[in-house]
Structure 1
């Protein structure tokens, strides 16, 4: 799933994102609104991981679709 598809179908994807990263709140998801950089930032914040690890996790998650 590319970045455009994430933003275009965010309402449908939100549930899958929350399943993958359960520490993200509904408020986090509302702020992210499908923006990959914001998602990476929230993952860093909630999970205490580095930017490159957050990007890797997003990439791995995207490749599952």
Structure 2
């Protein structure tokens, strides 16, 4: 399963992690996104001033497995959230 499919399928499980990882996203942003990955990518582009490709890379670095588990050690080690 690709990252987009996993995030959409496990959105309610991963929403808190996404919000924590991408602190520029507001509660209103999260409500608008509501599990729609294209909306999430758009908000990442808007809030972090990055291209679509960079926003996709940001999501890829979440390192979510097919069961919706996030590698929190990898998340904690990564900073800043924006692509290099």
What is the TM-score of this pair, normalised by structure 1? 0.80
1:50 positional shift = 0.8
- Segments ≥4 residues shifted beyond 4 Å: none
Alpha-carbon separation, structure 2, partners of 1:2 and 1:49: 19
Structure 1: state its 5+ residue gaps: none
What is the TM-score of this pair, normalised by structure 2? 0.65
Aligned length: 64
Structure 2: state its 5+ residue gaps: 65-69, 71-84
* Structure with max Cα Rg: 2
